[in-house]
Chains A and B, each alone.
Chain A
Amino acid sequence: MEIIDTQLDLGILDVKDLRFYIADGGFLGLKHKDEDYRHIVLRRIMPMEYPMEYISVADHENKEIGILRDVAALPAEQCAMVEHELDNRYYSPQIIEVLSVRDKLGYVYMEMKLKNKQGRIYDKSCAIKDVNRNIRTLPNNSAVIFDVDGNRFIVPLISDLSKQSQKKLDAYLY
């Protein structure tokens, strides 16, 4: 069923019209047609399912310029800039091992081994409040954990964790 009304511009950006660049001050800028935005804001429309597709591009006042359908369609250098910007915005280290989970007085204390985008592996401990809300099982067998500070950690595929890690996490997944 075709429901998209052609009268309403969905705002999908044509990659040919885009040129991302690093502006003075370190912000990601964009030249789009005749406009030059020296500080843009990128947001994922589907952060979990399509992290590098359907990216909402807005100016620094959050007014949407358009939607970037696929980051990979950009030239390599610009693609790297956009990926870097998105990684910084959605900073979510990956849990590669759950070292311990302790449930005390309604808080879950978790010690884990994390890997960030740069591949650096480090240990981190965090406290999680209200586990029903802050340990979320996602439909694609992944999980997101939010700690008391608002940090988020992801398990891209629960089944990729070691059996021991899965066992420790299992009581909180649904």
Chain B
Amino acid sequence: MSTHTTIKNAVPAYMRGAFAANGVGVDDLILAIHTDMTPEGDFADAYVGVDRNNLYILYGEERVVKTQGARRIVSEYETRELVTYPLKHLGVLSTQTLLSTCRLISDPEGKEEPEEEEKGKQASGKEKLVLLFSLGCQGFVDRLLKVIRNINKGEDPLKEIKEQEELFCLECGTRFPEPDRKLCPKCTDKMSIFVRLMGFFKFYKKKVATVSVTMLLVTALSILAPYVSTRLLIDEVLTPPIRHYESAATGGIVRDYDRVAGGDYIYVETLGGGWYEMVGLIVLAIMAMRFVTTAFNMLYQYVLGRTMPWMIYDLQMRIFEAMQRLSVSFYTSKRTGALMNRVSRDARNIYWFFVDGLPFIVINIAMFAGIFGMMFWMHWQLALICITIVPFAAGMFRLLRRIFRRIWHKQWTINSHMNNMVSDAVNGQRVIKAFAREGEESRRFTDMGNKHAAVDIAGANLAWTAFPMIYLFMFIGQVVVTALGGMMVIRGEISLGVLMAFLMYLGMLYGPLEFLSTVSNWWARCVDSAQRVFEVVDAKAEIEEPAQPVILESIRGEIVLDDVWFQYDPATPVLKGMNLTVPAGKTLGIVGKTGAGKSTMANLIARLYDTTEGTVKVDGVNVRDMSLSQLRASIGIVSQDIYLFMGSIVENIRYARPEATMEEVVWAAKMASAHDFIVALPDAYETRVGAGGQELSGGEKQRLSIARTIIQNPKILILDEATAAMDTETEGKIQTALNQLQSGRTTIAIAHRFSTLKDAENLAVIKDGVVVETGTHETLMRKKGEYHKLYSIQMEGLKVISME
């Protein structure tokens, strides 16, 4: 009995009914996928299923009856058409990527594994269009093709078929933006971002506790101060004690003790005047409170000032470290301006929020609660009237916050683009001047500046109109309380001191409300920034050190690429099943047109990217299993993209091995033909290069990068157009150095100029992501294939140049 691999959701439950209703044996289906177009390019729900004999395509329309977020729970399917293709008639299936769509093409006479000479021209001319689908379905179709290939080979259909990635959040059904990062944006709320940000305080617990306690004390004293300076001052110090009497006859309360001496009045209580005429004492109390408040204020600001810079430093370090950890692909998807914004501006936004925002939020919220507590304690009926203002004001502020948040985001977007434009203008200054486009560049920047100003103006206009309206509303509330409170004082229901305290507290609400409205912007900006910061911090490095890395005793340098597929963008493969072997210590020259996949191959060997399919092996070990540090230390890359870091020449040469001696540095520089030009510089090896340093020519920079690689002493050397930026004389010099460098190392040399590769022990020609020819220069020339074609074109070109 044969056993087969099983995977979850190979035939999703919601498709089973539709297939069954159309007479397809659901139990025989091995895999079913959902695509989204008809061959005519119309939108449709196309269910594609495969069993051992047939491919079924069911075109129709799905009506989702019940969902959980984006997850179908129950759906009904209205079939338009069922198309059945017997697998034996389909032949070889492949996908053709258009721009935002793909085609599934069948070639009944195509070969699954073409002979060497047929590579790159597999099509038989009998191809047939089977299915059209949007790019989003490419991954599903690839799985389907793998299953069909396995069936055709007579293997277990689900062999090497990965489990369907969990694409949806189990809580809410929202689709994960990245299947690798099981982080649901919907279920991760703003507060959790903030709580996480607060986690940065955990190293400063004592300081945070000191700040919190002093802040609360400041708040308590601030709330108590108006009570002392109004209610106590007026009712207890400035007003003589008032005795209340109750009339035995009427039961009414009388407070004028002069008029009720004797008669039938009974003494009830004495109100106010507790410290009558003790003005000095109350003034002293007011002053003492003020002094203590100021002292606490200074204390918490001092502690906070000493804590926050460290916290921001931690945050910036986390971002910077995360950026170092992330794979090259992360950087190709982010613009430099946006990344620099994350490190500097976003971290700074967070800093200001924590220094100038959060402490005052705590104070103002506590003050808000304290003021209303005092109000209710003094006279709850009047307090209830006052509190009616709050929901209206809160509603207005909430609305404002949403609008401001949009404005802040727009500002951020425009600001990032402006940063990119500045970066462009600085880096491309020579080109701008060469084409006399200064005016046009200024105009472009002005346009963006105008947009920026327009957003700023929109924000300012909103602030200037919305806030006075809120103040007006608050003022009306104060007038109402004055009127009602005044009547209560006249009726003897409250004392003058209580009314004055109420009015003072009401005035004190302005501050917190105004502040909370401002801080709502800060809060929005801080969370917005934190969100972007955490995007970097949380981003999963696509290239990770394996849990148990294989560490080889020594690396010999044998390289094997086995059926390697790779794509930078969805559904756009650059390498399409590349096979290649480079024996240890040998040199392989790689030729091919631009975009054929030569540099990509080098990137995969150094594991700057991981293959989409297939394996890259070094000394028989999959690079994914190898220790990343050992692998990278064993591979030296000299590419056409040269980057020198800010620092001296000696620091740049020692970059791969800081402990290298001065003798080794000079030796490496001489090997790379760099020594002569270095010593000619005024500061020789101490000349500062990189951003803001000494200008070097392309050839000089390249020689420094070669010296850097020589110092690294790698077992595998990848020369990716290493001499492309040099003139013939310099190239000649360096070529000699490179030839010496190559001895005893496995070398992959990628070059446009055939002259530099002619002597390579072996050559491989890459075309459209596959190796189409291999052999020595002589054998490939005799073969008169792709190599011969490319070589002849280049030689013809050179002849024309020499004739001119």
Contact = CB atoms under 8 A, between A and B. Distances in A.
B740 interface: no
Interface string A114-153: 0011101010010101111100000000000001111110
A174 B448 contact: yes
Contacts of B334: 130, 133
B100 interface: yes
B335 interface: yes
Nearest to B406: A171
Interface string A78-100: 00000010011111110000000
Contacts of B451: 174
Given A132-B413, A132-B417, A150-B135, A104 B185 contact: yes
A130 B569 CA distance: 14
B534 A105 contact: yes
A60 B129 contact: no
A149 B135 contact: yes
Contacts of A103: 409, 528, 531
A102 B409 CA distance: 12
Nearest to A115: B43
A61 to B, nearest CB: 8
A170 B532 CA distance: 19
B760 interface: no
A107 B185 contact: yes
B804 to A, nearest CB: 15
Interface string B561-584: 000000001110000000000000
Contact of B333 (A125, A130, A151): A130
Interface residues of B, number: 55
Contacts of B138: 150
Contacts, number: 130
The residue among B43, B70, B183, B538 with the most chain A CB atoms within 10 A of its own CB is: B43
B135 A151 contact: yes
Nearest to A28: B129
A53 to B, nearest CB: 17
Interface stretch (B174-182, B289-297, B513-521): B174-182
Contacts of B37: 91
Interface of A is mostly: loop
B42 interface: yes
B101 A91 contact: yes
Contact of A89 (B43, B98, B571): B98
B136 A132 contact: no
Given A103-B409, A170-B406, A91 B186 contact: no
A86 to B, nearest CB: 10
Contacts of B531: 103-106
Contacts of A127: 175, 177, 185
B41 A148 contact: no
A109 B185 contact: yes
Given A149-B135, A150-B135, A151-B100, A129 B177 contact: yes
B229 interface: no
A114 B99 CA distance: 18
B127 A27 contact: yes
B177 A107 contact: yes
Contacts of A172: 409-410, 413
Contacts of B532: 106
Contacts of B132: 88
10 contacts: A90-B100, A103-B528, A116-B41, A118-B41, A118-B42, A127-B185, A129-B177, A129-B333, A150-B136, A151-B136
Interface of A: 24-27, 38-39, 60-61, 84, 87-93, 102-107, 109, 116-118, 120, 122, 125, 127, 129-133, 147-152, 167, 170-174
Interface of B: 37, 39-43, 70, 98-101, 121, 123, 125-129, 132, 134-136, 138, 174-175, 177-178, 183, 185-186, 188, 193, 333-335, 338, 406-407, 409-410, 413-414, 416-417, 448, 451, 528, 531-532, 534-535, 538, 569-571
Given A25-B128, A88-B101, 14 more contacts: A61-B121, A87-B41, A90-B98, A91-B98, A91-B134, A103-B531, A105-B185, A106-B534, A107-B177, A127-B185, A133-B334, A147-B136, A149-B134, A170-B410
